[in-house]
Structure 1
Amino acid sequence: MNRIVVASLLAASALVSVAKAQDVPTIRVGWTIPAEEAKYWMMRRPDKFPNLGKTYKIEWSQFQGTSPMSQALIAGALDCATQGVLPIAQGMDKDTFAVYVVGQHVGEKPGSFSVYWAVKDDSPIKTVADLKGKTVGISIIGGGTHGPFNLMLKRAGLDPEKDIKLVEVSFSLSEDALRAGRVDSTNMNQPFAARAEAKGGIRKLFALEEALPNIVHIVEACRKDFVDKNPELVRAYVKDFTAALKMALANRTETMQVVSEITKAPIAVLDTYLLKGNDFAREPGGAPNFAGIQAMFDVYTNEKMLSKKLDAGKLKHPSIVAPIE
């Protein structure tokens, strides 16, 4: 009889444990590659975050870029995700979805890496004006860098619609397209820029920072309805996001290991740029640069990529925004 009682108690205890585990709230988070070191730390070193898995859980979903994550946010399939500034602006412009920007992954600052357009060393193209009549590559036509790119051309007296032939060339294929002569100039991003520079034979023509300083590339955004309904849950997530980015910046050696585990890139390759002066800028606490986002909104509006002027201040929650200690 005692054995039966003990067995019953153990079974009841197990049921309670399962129920408690099921009660732990879950955030559905989208991620991609590269430049999301905070998330990579949370995925590969979860033991560093005492609340992760106990106070809340994360259901991670990998995507090929930020645009599919925008659609997943709109569909309600994700609660938080990495986003570019343009998809957020387009969502605000069309009233298709509303988010809070709760953190920032990478951007540009004076002295940091800036997305740039390269030409071959022996190219006769010496200035932006020399691009007239040439074939120029860009990662995504109508993408986040397109507005500042147009601005740079206009400053050089070129009409972006008439004076160049613009073609899409992904960052991973930019070096090959340039060396093979399929384009006269094309955009370069890390880690592909570091690889191309190491081989030699190319030079920088201009960088985006010359058109628009302090560009914000990718941020962490959460659906407004989800945040408003689950403020403490999202606060716990942003607190860990803040801690994770600080860990990533404080321990470069371990961060390279973590990034290598996620991306499968050799540490020797990561060591040529990751968290060095030729990498994008990261805020120690992951604080979003709302002024930079506003400047980008204004460029997109001026370039007719948006139908109206937007206010980046609407993206900021009164209290749930990195850094949260």
Structure 2
Amino acid sequence: MRSKGHETGRAAALVLAVLLAVGLAAGTAWAQGKKPVVLRHGHGGGVPSDIAPVLFTPWIQQNVLKHYGKVYTVQWTRTKGSPHAAAMLAAGEADLATLSFTTIAFTILKNSVPGGVKVVADTKIDGYPGYRSNVWVVRAEEPIHKVADLKGRVVSMNEFGAGLDVGLRVMLRKHGLDPLKDVNIVEINFGNQGPALRQKRIDLALLLQPFEGREFKKGGIRRLFTLKDAIGTNHMIFQVATNKILKEQPEAVRAYFDDYVRALQWYLDPKNRPKMLDVVAEATKLPKESYGYFLTQEDDFRDPNACPRLEYIQRPVDLMLELGFIKERADISKHFDTSYLPSPCKA
């Protein structure tokens, strides 16, 4: 809404009342005719596993969100993993991104993003009690029944330096294998992991949802270990913002997360599940039957208020130091700010 010279005082008062009722200061900028701020977001992982983009589909924008297109818009860039997303932040090509515990540690220690970054919101937690964990699988007929049996084999992950890469290397070390000498680690995107395993191009595949469910339905594969087995419950990915965007456009960032949480809670509401699955199916161009697991305990855990959990980031980062992946400790608490979320997070 924009005020016009011919509007009556009564209409202008009504506009002001609506803005006050919304309670978002960013609405003032929109009412004064300012263009929406474009937030550049680098996201990665399988959709809807990386849930952010499907929270902003056209139907959700029109029926659930309050601020999209008024206070802000989002320019999404899909990456193949968190190292790529971190590189976008460092190059000034993104304002927000989904990072893993590994890439936030490297980003902090290398001071690679001008002005720095902060962890600001949850995306998903791997291995949360009662929920799934990312899994590595082998062909059912192979004589690989323990991690040590992988010696001399070809094993895969999605991107070198990603959280899943470190998880794989930790598990190999735990079982007496040198990741550099005893196995051949290759990089394969999530969607091609299952086919590569069946084609015998690799001997160990990494499966995230929705690929995990699809591949197990086909049969012929066997679970070997999970990421939780390697590093415990962990914040697989979370949302990070540059200090630059937080300083220059705080109202737009708050509006974005207000909408993010509103959409997430709409998705999580059981009464909306039938429509939610239709929305996801339309966004991904796949049958909604493919997403029976989505936002259940067969999926990753997502905090309904988008609150990140500091301990699930710091603990695996400290493990990286213990095992020599990094040379000094990265203190995540100094780069952690949940004040841009609509509801307070528990300490």
What is the TM-score normalised by the length of structure 2? Answer: 0.80
Structure 1, unpaired ranges of 5+: 1-7, 11-18
1:99–1:254 CA distance, 2 compared to 1 (3 A): farther
Match of 2:40 in 1: 29
Match of 1:40 in 2: 54
Partners of 2:247 and 2:333 in 1: how far apart? 17
Partners of 2:341 and 2:73 in 1: how far apart? 18
- Output one character per residue of 1:160-218: Cα deviation in whole Å (capped at 9) or x when no partner: 22222222222211112212222222211111111110011111011111121222122
Contact kept, 8 Å, 1:84 with 1:144, in 2: the verdict is: yes
Aligned mate of 2:66, from 39, 47, 50: 50
- Deviation at residue 128 of structure 1 after TM alignment: 0.9
1:94–1:38 CA distance, 2 compared to 1 (3 A): closer
Aligned mate of 1:116, from 135, 138, 144: 135
1:49–1:170 CA distance, 2 compared to 1 (3 A): closer
Contact kept, 8 Å, 2:86 with 2:99, in 1: the verdict is: yes
Partners of 1:305 and 1:83 in 2: how far apart? 17
Structure 2, unpaired ranges of 5+: 7-29
Match of 2:117 in 1: 99
Paired amino acid for 2:72? K
Aligned mate of 1:298, from 313, 318, 329: 318
Partners of 2:69 and 2:220 in 1: how far apart? 49
- Deviation at residue 223 of structure 1 after TM alignment: 0.8
- Deviation at residue 151 of structure 1 after TM alignment: 1.7
Match of 2:78 in 1: 63
SS at match of 2:57: helix
SS at match of 1:301: helix
Partners of 1:116 and 1:263 in 2: how far apart? 23
The yes-or-no answer on 1:213 pairing with 2:227 is no
Partners of 1:154 and 1:231 in 2: how far apart? 43
Match of 1:78 in 2: 94
- Deviation at residue 23 of structure 1 after TM alignment: 1.0
1:198–1:77 CA distance, 2 compared to 1 (3 A): same
Contact kept, 8 Å, 1:121 with 1:201, in 2: the verdict is: yes
Report % sequence identity: 30
Contact kept, 8 Å, 2:120 with 2:338, in 1: the verdict is: no
- Output one character per residue of 1:113-157: Cα deviation in whole Å (capped at 9) or x when no partner: 211111111111111111122221222233221222222122212
What is the TM-score normalised by the length of structure 1? Answer: 0.86
- Deviation at residue 82 of structure 1 after TM alignment: 2.5
Partners of 1:120 and 1:313 in 2: how far apart? 41
1:123–1:82 CA distance, 2 compared to 1 (3 A): same
Partners of 2:296 and 2:223 in 1: how far apart? 19
Contact kept, 8 Å, 1:84 with 1:218, in 2: the verdict is: yes
- Deviation at residue 39 of structure 1 after TM alignment: 4.1
1:315–1:259 CA distance, 2 compared to 1 (3 A): farther
- Deviation at residue 252 of structure 1 after TM alignment: 2.6
Partners of 2:219 and 2:111 in 1: how far apart? 46
1:303–1:255 CA distance, 2 compared to 1 (3 A): farther
Partners of 1:318 and 1:274 in 2: how far apart? 26
- Deviation at residue 21 of structure 1 after TM alignment: 6.8
Contact kept, 8 Å, 1:102 with 1:222, in 2: the verdict is: yes
- Deviation at residue 297 of structure 1 after TM alignment: 1.4
Paired amino acid for 2:301? A
1:69–1:183 CA distance, 2 compared to 1 (3 A): closer
1:203–1:61 CA distance, 2 compared to 1 (3 A): same
Contact kept, 8 Å, 1:39 with 1:241, in 2: the verdict is: no
Aligned mate of 1:262, from 261, 283, 289: 283
Match of 2:268 in 1: 249
Aligned mate of 1:175, from 194, 208, 215: 194
Contact kept, 8 Å, 2:83 with 2:161, in 1: the verdict is: no
Paired amino acid for 1:265? L
Return 230-239 or 146-155, whichever deviates more: 230-239
Match of 2:332 in 1: 312
Partners of 2:183 and 2:51 in 1: how far apart? 37
1:165–1:72 CA distance, 2 compared to 1 (3 A): closer
Contact kept, 8 Å, 1:288 with 1:322, in 2: the verdict is: no
Aligned mate of 1:185, from 184, 201, 204: 204
Contact kept, 8 Å, 1:215 with 1:293, in 2: the verdict is: yes
The yes-or-no answer on 1:166 pairing with 2:166 is no
- Deviation at residue 293 of structure 1 after TM alignment: 0.6
Paired amino acid for 1:194? G
RMSD: 2.5
